[in-house]
Structure 1
Amino acid sequence: MKTTILKYFTAIFLCLAVMACNKDFLEQPPLDQITVDNFYQTPEQINAFTASLYGFPWFNLNDKTVYAIGDLMGGNLHTYDGQYDPFMKFSVRQDNPRLNEAWSSLFKVIGMSNSVINILPQKAPASIDQNLVKRAVGEGRFMRALAYFYLVRTWGAVPIIANSEALATGDYRIPRHNVEDIYKFIIMDLEYAEQNCPLRYDATNAGRVTSGAAKALLAKVYLYQKNYAKARQKAEEVINSGVYDLLPDYADIFRTKNNNNRESIFAWQWVACPDCWGQQNTNQAYFAPFGQGITETGDGWGSLTPSIDFIRAYEPNDKRRKPSIMTPGEFYPELTSKTNPNGYTYPKDNFISPTHANIRKYIVGSPTSPDGPVYFMRTGINTNILRFAEVLLIHAEAILAGGTSTTDAQALASFNRVRARAGLPPKVLLTFDDILHERRIELFLEHDYWYDLGRIDRAKAISIISNQERGAYYNDTEIGSVRVTPTNNDFLLPMPQSETDQNPKLLEPPVPYDFK
C-alpha cells in the first residue's frame, strides 16, 4: 500500500476546484478541462496555479495546528478543549489528528510547489515571458522552503522531496534526510526566490512572494543556524530596501481591510465565501469569546484563551495588549453586531474565560462588522507569517550574535523601534532575554514562541517552560495551578502513526541528501 505522503504529491491539480475566489490576485478565470499537457499555456494559467499556493494547501495547518504548536506548547495559550490539551501538557501521541493535519498540509504545499518548479519550465511555451516563468518557479520554491522550515523545526529530520512526480513510478518509501541538508535545501530555494521574484507588485498582485520576503525568511533561517553575519546581512537588506515599515498602530495590522499592508512581508491569503471550504481563515471560530454575540454566525467557542503566564508577561502600558487579548473592561468599537450595535465591551465581572481573558487577534467580528465579510467559520483576514517588526528583532539579535548583552547603536535602534510603537521606554542595554520577551509579546499568535524556545539553550528553555503558569482560575482569585516540565524529547513532535506505519524508513536514522 502506498504511503499517504504520496497522495499529497500526485494530486497536482487538486487546487483547481477551489480557485474561484474573489480577492485580489486570488481571483481567477474558469479553469475547466485542464490537463498537465495543456496547462501553463498562458500567463493567466501560470498566475492561477501559483495563486493557489497562498492559502488552500496551508489550510489544515492554519485551522488548528499551527497555534497549538507555536503558542499552546509555548505557554502563550490555555485550553479547556481535549483536542488541544495534549499540546499544552506535552502528551501528544503519534495518533493525534492535529499532527496528521499539519504533516499532510505541509507536504501538500511541497507537492503543489514541486508541480510549479518541475513542470512549468517544461510545459510553458516559448511565447511566455521567461521572467514570468522564473518568478512563478520562485514563488513555488519560496513556498517549498517555508513548508520545510516548519517541518524541520517541528519534526527534525524529514524526507526531502524535490521532484514529486518521480514518486509515482519510483519507490515511495523515502528515508528522512539530515537536518543540516534540509536547511541547505531551504536556503537554496530561498536564494532562487530572492533572485527571481520582484521587489514589488501592483495592487492586484499584492501579497505574492517578493525578493524581500525571500530575504526576510533567509534572515530567520540563518538566525536558527546561528549564522549571525548572514542573518544580519539579509535583515539589513530588507530594512534598507525602503519597501517595508511599521504601521503606526499595532491594532491596524490585524484588520482584514489592511491585509497586505506595508508591514506585511509575507502572509497566508484567505477569502471568506459562504459556499467554499479550505480557502478561509477559521481562527475566529475558536478564539472569539463564547456567548458574547461577537460573531453571530453560530461559532465563537472560546476554545483557547491567553494563558495566565502570557497575560502576566505584558509590561505596564504596552499598547499591544488590547489588540492582542481581551481583558475586563476593554471596549472595542469596531466589534459591532446586532447584540452589540455600538461595539463590544469585555465583561468586568462574571468571568467568561478560565484565565479571565480572551483572544482579540484574528477576531473579525460579525457579518455587520466593518471588517467583513464573515460567515460561519469563515473570515478573510490574512495569517501573518513574516512582518517588518520581526525583521527588526532579527536584526537586533543577529548583532547580539549569541552574546548576553550589547549596547550596539544599530541593535538598539532596531529593537527600540518595535518598543516605541508599543508605547514602551527604550532600552539602553539590550540582552538576549529582552529580545526573547519582545518576540513573545510582539509575535503572539504568529506561532513563533515554541520554536524560539526550541532554538535556545535547552536547559534555559526547560526552565522557562517549567516556571510557566498553565492553569486556570477556579474562582475569582484563586488559581488551579498547572506546571509542566518538558524533557529533551518533547522539543520535537512524533511523526504521524499513519505515515510511519506505511513508510518504516521514517523510523530509521536520517541519511545525507544527494544534491547532485
Structure 2
Amino acid sequence: MDVMKRYFICIALFFALFNSACDKDFLNRRPEDATTSDVFFETPDQMRTYINTFYNSGMFPKYANHGSDFDSDNQVTGTANQRLQGTRTIATTGTIGFTNVRRINFFFDNYRRVEANHALDAYQQYLGEAYFFRGLIYFDLMQSYGDMQILTKELTTDSPELYSPRDPRNAVADFIIGQLDSAAMYLTADKTSGAGRINRWIALLIQSRVALYEGSWEKYHAGTPFGVTNPDPDKYFAKAAEAAEELIDAGVYSVYSTGNPKSDYRALFAQLDFSTNSEVMFWRKYDNNLTQGDGDFTNDRFFRMETPSNKSITKQLADAYLCADGRPISGNALFGGYNTLASEAENRDPRFYQTIATPDQIWKIDENSDTTYWSEAYDQLNSRADLNAPSGYIIQKGYNPNLVYHVQQYEESPGLIYRYAEALLNFAEAKAELGTLTQDDIDKSIKPLRDRVGMPDLLLDDIATDPNWNFPTLSPVINEIRRERRVELAAEGFRWNDIARWAAADELIVGTRPKGFMASQVAKNPFPIDDDGFLDPLKNALPSGYGFKLDRDYLNSIPISEIVLNDNLTQNPGWQ
C-alpha cells in the first residue's frame, strides 16, 4: 500500500491549500499555496483551509446523476465492462490508494494545537468534516478491497503498522460507522445551500449507506469466500435504519415536488441551481469566473448528453418500470408492448419517460426558442457515430434541452451528489431486511417517492406477483423495494454497489447480455439482433454472456508489488 516505506523518504509533507475567503465557494477554488506541519494548525481558519482540499481531491464525483451505471446491468456501451466480463487480470504493480488516509491522519496528528487558544465551537465543524472524510475514505477502500489496514496516525519509516496485516472488513465497517458517529456529533445541523460544507445530516446519510452495505454483504455473502467470521448483518441493518430514520424524522429535507407528476422527477435533475432545493443535500457548483481552466472542474454534461455517443440504458432496466397501476408489465393489459418506444412508455411509471427519452419530447431549444423534438434524432438513430445507441434507450435524466446552457468543457451545469431520496430507500430496505417493516414505514419512505410521480402506493398486503422478479427466492416486499431503488436511483452510480452487496451477480450478470429495444424501430442499425428481434449489442463479443467470476470479481486484486513489500498482506479471493 502507498503507506509503505518508499512514501516516507521526504522530511516534510506538502499539501495544497484552497483560497477560502468565501466558504460557500470553496468547492470552486484552486490550490494556491502549500505548508508543513510545523507552521500549520494553529487557528480554525488553517484547519478549514486544510480540510477544503478533501472536497476537491476526488472524494466527490463531478456529477453523480449522469449515466454512471455502466458497470452494471442498467447501462451499456458498445464494449463489455471488464469486471462484468470477467477479464480483469491481477494487478502486478501500483498501490491500493492510501494517499488520502495519510493526508487525513496528518490532520488528526496536528489539529490539537488549535485547542490551546480556541474554544471547541470555533473549530468543531472542521473536526467533524475530518471524521466524515476519514470514514468516506475507508468506505471507498472497503468497497474495493474488503479487509483493510485501519491506520489512525501518520506513519514513519519505523512504524510497525507498515507491515501489519489487513483488518477484517467488519472491523473496518465498525471503524467507519464510528467515524461517522463522531462526524455527526461535531457537524452543523444547519441545512445550508448544499454547495458549501457538509452537515450532520449528510453524515447520517452516509452512515446509513455504509451500514446497509455491510449488513447486506454479511447476509448475502455468508458461506462464500467473501463472508466474514461471526457475521451479524442485523446489527448493521438496525444501524442503517436508525441513521436514516433520524434524518427522515428531523424534517430538514423532503422529496422535491411541484405537484406535476409528469415532469417533476426529470426536472429535479435538470436544474441549474440546487441552493433552495428541498431534496438535494449536497451538490457541486461550477462557476467559470472561479474555475475555468481548472482540469478538476471541466464540465460539459448537457453538451455531451445531446447525443447518445454509444451509451444507452438497457432493456433490463426499462422492463423494471411498473405499469401505471403499480403492477408489473408481465401479463398486464396496460402494457403497450415493444413495437415502438412510444407504446412501451405508455401507461408506465412516469419515471420511465422521465429517465428514457421518447420521440415526443423536446430535445433542443435554441437561442431563438425554436424547438427540436427527440423524434428527429430518433429517426436517425445509429446512422452516424455520435448517434450510435447500443440498446436504443437514450438517457435523458439529468439533461436540460436549453442549448444556451450547453458548453463544451466549461459548462456550469451543477453536479448533484447526495439527495434525500437515498435515505428513504435505505430506511425501507434496512427495515425489510430486519423483518420489521410496517405499512407506516413504507408510507414514510416509499410513498413520497411514488407520490411525486403519481404512482399507486406500495401496500404490504397487496404486492402483485411478478414472474420476472430478479430474486424469486426472496420475499415480495424485498423484491419490490429493490425494484424501487433501481428505478429511483437509475444512472446515479448505485447499481454496481447494490449488486455487489446483494451477492447478486449470479442472478443479474453471469451468462446474461445487455439487451435493447425492438430493432425494427430504427432504419439503420450496426448492432446485432437477438432471436426475438431486440437489439443485442454484445452478442458477438459475448456469445455465452458475461463471464463474471463469482469467486473473484466482487473485489479488486491487491497489487503483487504491495504483497512483496509486506508479506503479512494476503490476496483477495480468486486472485491468487
TM-score normalised to structure 1 length: 0.78
Deviation at 1:156, TM superposition (A): 0.9
Q: Provide the rounded CA distance (Å) in 2 between the counterparts of 1:254 and 1:445.
A: 11
Q: Provide the rounded CA distance (Å) in 1 between the counterparts of 2:399 and 2:19.
A: 24
Partner residue, 2:224: none
Unpaired stretches in structure 2, ≥5 consecutive residues: 216-232, 258-263, 324-347, 382-386, 464-476, 520-526
Partner residue, 2:69: 71
SS of the residue corresponding to residue 203 of structure 2 reads: helix
Partner residue, 1:251: 266
The alpha-carbon distance between structure 1 residues 485 and 211, as it changes in their structure 2 partners (threshold 3 A), is same
Q: Provide the rounded CA distance (Å) in 1 between the counterparts of 2:2 and 2:511.
A: 45
Q: Which moved more, 1:262-271 or 1:72-81?
A: 262-271
The alpha-carbon distance between structure 1 residues 37 and 230, as it changes in their structure 2 partners (threshold 3 A), is same
CA contact (8 A) 1:239 1:391 kept: yes
The alpha-carbon distance between structure 1 residues 202 and 308, as it changes in their structure 2 partners (threshold 3 A), is closer
Query: Residue 394 of structure 1 aligns to which amino acid in structure 2?
Result: N
The alpha-carbon distance between structure 1 residues 345 and 217, as it changes in their structure 2 partners (threshold 3 A), is same
The alpha-carbon distance between structure 1 residues 230 and 507, as it changes in their structure 2 partners (threshold 3 A), is closer
Whether 1:368 aligns to 2:385 is: no
Deviations 1:371-426 (A, max 9, x none): x7x44276552242x421111112222322344x9653222442121122133211
CA contact (8 A) 2:131 2:180 kept: yes
Q: Provide the rounded CA distance (Å) in 1 between the counterparts of 2:65 and 2:563.
A: 21
Give the 5 Å matches for 1:498-509: 499-500=562-563, 502-503=565-566, 505-507=568-570
Whether 1:275 aligns to 2:290 is: no
Give the 5 Å matches for 1:14-33: 14-16=15-17, 24-26=25-27, 32=33
Give the 5 Å matches for 1:261-300: 261-267=277-283, 273-280=291-298, 288-290=305-307
- The one of 87, 96, 103 aligned to 1:112: 103
Partner residue, 1:302: 309
The alpha-carbon distance between structure 1 residues 241 and 41, as it changes in their structure 2 partners (threshold 3 A), is same
Whether 1:393 aligns to 2:439 is: no
Give the 5 Å matches for 1:34-73: 34-58=35-59, 62=61, 71-73=69-71
Deviation at 1:223, TM superposition (A): 2.3
Q: Provide the rounded CA distance (Å) in 1 between the counterparts of 2:512 and 2:99.
A: 35
Q: Which moved more, 1:431-440 or 1:142-151?
A: 142-151
Q: How many residues align?
A: 477
Partner residue, 2:470: none
Give the 5 Å matches for 1:318-337: 318-332=349-363, 336=365
- The one of 404, 421, 425 aligned to 2:452: 421
Deviation at 1:341, TM superposition (A): 5.6
Deviations 1:166-210 (A, max 9, x none): 14553544532111110111011001011110111544x744221
Whether 1:448 aligns to 2:480 is: no
Unpaired stretches in structure 1, ≥5 consecutive residues: 291-300, 511-516
SS of the residue corresponding to residue 138 of structure 1 reads: helix
Q: Which moved more, 1:124-133 or 1:194-203?
A: 124-133
- The one of 464, 488, 491 aligned to 2:554: 491
Deviation at 1:323, TM superposition (A): 4.1
CA contact (8 A) 1:235 1:392 kept: yes
CA contact (8 A) 1:218 1:231 kept: yes
Query: Residue 350 of structure 1 aligns to which amino acid in structure 2?
Result: Q
Q: Provide the rounded CA distance (Å) in 1 between the counterparts of 2:571 and 2:429.
A: 36
Q: Provide the rounded CA distance (Å) in 2 between the counterparts of 1:78 and 1:283.
A: 18
Q: Provide the rounded CA distance (Å) in 2 between the counterparts of 1:79 and 1:67.
A: 14
Q: Provide the rounded CA distance (Å) in 2 between the counterparts of 1:338 and 1:504.
A: 63
Q: Which moved more, 1:487-496 or 1:11-20?
A: 11-20
- The one of 198, 204, 207 aligned to 1:215: 204
Partner residue, 1:146: 136
CA contact (8 A) 1:246 1:389 kept: yes
Query: Residue 345 of structure 1 aligns to which amino acid in structure 2?
Result: W
Q: Which moved more, 1:185-194 or 1:36-45?
A: 36-45
- The one of 415, 421, 424 aligned to 1:382: 415
Q: Which moved more, 1:145-154 or 1:490-499?
A: 490-499
Deviation at 1:92, TM superposition (A): 2.5
Q: Provide the rounded CA distance (Å) in 2 between the counterparts of 1:168 and 1:143.
A: 25
TM-score normalised to structure 2 length: 0.71
Query: Residue 356 of structure 1 aligns to which amino acid in structure 2?
Result: G
Partner residue, 2:81: 85
Query: Residue 52 of structure 2 aligns to which amino acid in structure 1?
Result: A
The alpha-carbon distance between structure 1 residues 343 and 417, as it changes in their structure 2 partners (threshold 3 A), is same
CA contact (8 A) 2:84 2:509 kept: no
Deviation at 1:157, TM superposition (A): 1.1
SS of the residue corresponding to residue 76 of structure 2 reads: strand
Query: Residue 378 of structure 2 aligns to which amino acid in structure 1?
Result: K
Q: Provide the rounded CA distance (Å) in 1 between the counterparts of 2:449 and 2:421.
A: 6
Q: Provide the rounded CA distance (Å) in 1 between the counterparts of 2:495 and 2:181.
A: 26
Q: Provide the rounded CA distance (Å) in 2 between the counterparts of 1:167 and 1:276.
A: 33
Deviation at 1:31, TM superposition (A): 5.1
> Structure 1 or 2: larger helix share?
1
Deviations 1:217-248 (A, max 9, x none): 22222323233333222222111112111111
Query: Residue 201 of structure 2 aligns to which amino acid in structure 1?
Result: G
CA contact (8 A) 1:78 1:307 kept: yes
Query: Residue 355 of structure 1 aligns to which amino acid in structure 2?
Result: S
CA contact (8 A) 2:69 2:490 kept: yes
SS of the residue corresponding to residue 278 of structure 1 reads: helix
Give the 5 Å matches for 1:422-441: 422-429=453-460, 431-441=477-487
Larger Rg: 2
Percent identity for Structure 1 against Structure 2: 25
Query: Residue 38 of structure 1 aligns to which amino acid in structure 2?
Result: V
SS of the residue corresponding to residue 16 of structure 2 reads: helix
Query: Residue 265 of structure 1 aligns to which amino acid in structure 2?
Result: M
The alpha-carbon distance between structure 1 residues 284 and 85, as it changes in their structure 2 partners (threshold 3 A), is farther
Q: Provide the rounded CA distance (Å) in 2 between the counterparts of 1:266 and 1:401.
A: 28
CA contact (8 A) 1:57 1:109 kept: no
